[in-house]
Structure formats: C-alpha cells, structure tokens
Amino acid sequence: MVSPTQNPSSTSGGLSLMDTLLGLLRVRVCKGINLAVRDISSSDPYVVIKMGKQKLKTRVMKKNVNPEWNEDLTLSVADPNLPIKLIVYDKDTFSLDDKMGDADFDIKPFLEAVKMHLTDLPSGTTITRVTPCRQNCLAEESCVKWVNGKVVQDICLRLRNVECGEVEIKLQWIDLPGSKGI
C-alpha cells in the first residue's frame, strides 16, 4: 500500500520515471530487403528491437524475404548511450524461431540534431550525415533531416551474422511534457 506522502511512480531512488526519461524514440520498421531463406523456399520474418530492458517486436510476415512492415515501435529513452539492437527472426511453429541476422545502431548523432532545437528550416534540410564504417551496421550513408517540423533519420542496416539481408528503419523523436528532455 502506498502512503499518502509517497509518489506511486517513484523508483527506489526517489526519482520518478519522468525525472529520468529524456523522451520517446519512435522506430518505424519499414521493410526488409533480400532477407535470408530459413524455411524451404522463403521465411516468415519479424523484427525485435531491444534497448536496455525494453524489447518490442513487429508482426510476422508470412512467406516473404522482402517484407514491408511499416510498423511503429516506441522506446522510452532514459540513457542515450545504450545501444539499440535490431534482430530479425524467422517464425517457426514447431521449433525455436531461427535468427536471420542482427544489427546495432547508435542514436547519438540523431539526438545531437534533436538537441539543436531547430525551427523554421525548409522541409528536407539535411542536418548531419552518418557514414558507414566498421563501428556501425549502416549499408549506406544515413542523413538526419528536418522534415515537416520534425527531426527524422532514415537508416538502412546491413544485417550481421547472416549470409544476406538489410532492414530499413526511420527514427523520429517525441518530446514528452513533464520529462527531463534532452
């Protein structure tokens, strides 16, 4: 039972979730490209996004190695230094789901653009560019842009630990009233 003086949303350290939360990161899982075949002639892929203790997943796309999910998954961001991991699985009915590759992506360049608190830029303006390198899973250069009053980033991730496959995602920041903010 909560006493009248105790905040029910408090964590053990006395801070509420809103005191530690920076905001929300909307990850739109757009599509998979040339994903690996894990069944006889196709796969039944779905995507899992992990950040810290959070784990979200898309719906399963039956018999499709080029699926279009166009599905939004929203993560609560308290620590921008936590890596975000994307894992693609093949849904199996009678056995464990098969892994179809994974990729990590860093949101620090994206959050740096959000911190600029830009306004009144022409839609489509490029704020910064992130180039592919050995430390990231980018398949091609990724631009952080100002689009319709929001900071967005389109990312094409090359999957690791698999023979082929890429996943396209789009990031968008959501400020939360009452949160710590960036």
In this predicted model, what pLDDT tens digit does every residue of 99-133 receive, in sequence order?
999 999 999 999 999 999 888 899 999 999 999 98
Structure tokens at 180: 């710590």
Number of domains in the chain: 1
Residue 163 predicted with pLDDT over 90: yes
Q: Residue 110 belongs to what H/E stretch? A: helix 108-115
The pTM score is 0.87
* Position 97 in a domain: yes
Residue of 97, 74, 79, 151 lying closest to 119 (CA atoms): 151
Arithmetic mean of pLDDT over the chain: 89
Supply the DSSP symbol for 113: H
User: CB neighbours of 126 closer than 8 A, spacing ≥ 6?
Assistant: 143, 144, 145
Where are the strands (E) in 121-175, listed by range? 125-130, 142-147, 150-158, 166-174
Residue 2 predicted with pLDDT over 60: no
* Position 104 in a domain: yes
Structure tokens at 168: 């396209």
Residue 32 predicted with pLDDT over 80: yes
Residue of 102, 85, 111, 99 lying closest to 175 (CA atoms): 111
Reported confidence tier of residue 176, pLDDT bands at 50, 70, 90:
confident
* Position 129 in a domain: yes
* Position 181 in a domain: no
Looking at the chain, how many residues does it have? 182
The range of the structural domain enclosing residue 152 comes to 22-174
The amino acid that residue 60 corresponds to is V
Of residues 64 and 20, more confidence is placed in 64
* CATH number of the domain that residue 47 is part of: 2.60.40.150
- Overall average pLDDT of the 148-168 stretch: 96
* Position 12 in a domain: no
Residue 30 predicted with pLDDT over 60: yes
